[in-house]
Amino acid sequence: MTRWCVVLGWAAILVATAGCSARSPHGTTLRADRDLLTQEELREHRFSTVFEAIEALRAHWLRERGPDSFSAPGHVQVYLDDSRLGGVEALRTLPLANVLFIRHVDGIVAAARWGLDHGHGVILVATRP
């Protein structure tokens, strides 16, 4: 009799916890990556340059967040396929035609990857996979 009580007890626990761990696919939503502009998102609009697209869709990427140095203040840097182009003004000359995606890299990650003069972040424009 006690063996059946143990078996029924475990069965009741399994049934009770199974309902708690199951997730409904209808109640979940994917959070959009706010640091990425995809080619599909860029095609929805009629922008001619990368600057126009970022200014309209993610203007906060262009803003610098206070001085990072008193002697040599930094700026948001722009990279095209891992080649440094300069500041955000370089985005005005980049056409959107061949852009696969545009990614914003925050200052902490950018400084760790590219150096301390990248403390205001990086806008990475990719034209090839």
Could you tell me which CATH number the domain at 34-126 has?
Answer: 2.170.130.10
Q: How far apart are CA 78 and CA 93, in angstroms?
A: 12
Question: pLDDT value at position 47?
Answer: 94
On average, the pLDDT of the chain sits at 83
Question: pLDDT value at position 61?
Answer: 95
DSSP E strands, 41-95:
77-80, 83-86
Question: pLDDT value at position 32?
Answer: 77
Please identify every stretch of the chain with a pLDDT value under 50, giving residue numbers as ranges: 24
Instruction: From 102, 123, 107, select the one nearest 74 (Cα to Cα).
Output: 107
Q: Which residues contact 99 (CB under 8 A, 6 or more apart)?
A: 39, 42, 50, 125, 126, 127
The residue type found at 49 is T
Question: pLDDT value at position 102?
Answer: 97
Assess contact for 119 and 110: CB atoms under 8 A: yes
**Domain assignments of the chain as residue spans, ordered by start:** 34-126
Q: How far apart are CA 41 and CA 53, in angstroms?
A: 10
